[in-house]
């Protein structure tokens, strides 16, 4: 299964809202920046000032190339052109049939290509909850390094979640891009 990215649009809202079906899943996907249930108003606010020529955030829908079906979501945010850094966020393989087919890897690779080859960033970071082993493995296989564990960052249903901070530098991307 091959994927491509296109900018996230209002026509994608309903599918994303359907995928995010619990407060816990919303926290895992987006952190504390949204409240459950996800609404069109929240997504309109999320899209504000995005996907423009000099935006600080680019928000993408992930499309299955051969069918044109929406199967996921990913963003590149906190783009700092002076320091040449950005952050991957809100990574979601929403379609259960697409999971386990290296779709997450393709999504992240596509965003890294934009970050390093189009925007000429030097550093791309992300955060992932420590229990999300498949995502951590995916990121490590793409060259991300763990920088530190942020303990008890989110209180969810009476339990605290830990968050791994990870990053990839442009030189590491250059070395890896021939191997992936």
pLDDT tens for 13-28 read 999 999 999 999 999 9
Instruction: Respond yes or no on whether the N-terminal peptide bond of residue 39 is cis (omega within 30° of 0).
Output: no
Element (H, E) at 42: helix 40-47
Tell me how far apart the alpha carbons of residues 12 and 41 are, in angstroms, rounded to a whole number: 13
- CATH for 3-177 is 3.40.630.30
Share of the chain above pLDDT 70, in %: 99
* pTM attached to this predicted model: 0.95
């Amino acid at each position: 299964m091959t994927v491509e990215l296109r900018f996230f649009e209002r026509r994608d809202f309903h599918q994303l809202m359907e995928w995010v079906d619990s407060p816990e899943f919303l926290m895992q996907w987006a952190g504390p920046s949204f409240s459950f249930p996800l609404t069109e108003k929240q997504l309109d606010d999320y899209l504000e000032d995005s996907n423009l020529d000099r935006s600080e955030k680019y928000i993408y829908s992930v499309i299955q190339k051969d069918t044109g079906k929406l199967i996921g979501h990913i963003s590149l945010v906190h783009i700092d052109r002076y320091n040449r850094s950005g952050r991957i966020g809100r990574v979601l393989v929403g379609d259960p049939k697409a999971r386990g087919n290296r779709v997450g890897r393709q999504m992240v690779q596509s965003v890294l290509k934009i970050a390093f080859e189009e925007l000429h960033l030097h550093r791309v970071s992300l955060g992932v909850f420590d229990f999300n082993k498949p995502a951590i493995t995916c990121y490590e296989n793409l060259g991300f390094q763990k920088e530190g564990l942020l303990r008890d960052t989110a209180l969810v249903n009476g339990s605290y979640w830990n968050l791994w901070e990870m990053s990839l530098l442009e030189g590491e991307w250059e070395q890896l891009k021939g191997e992936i």
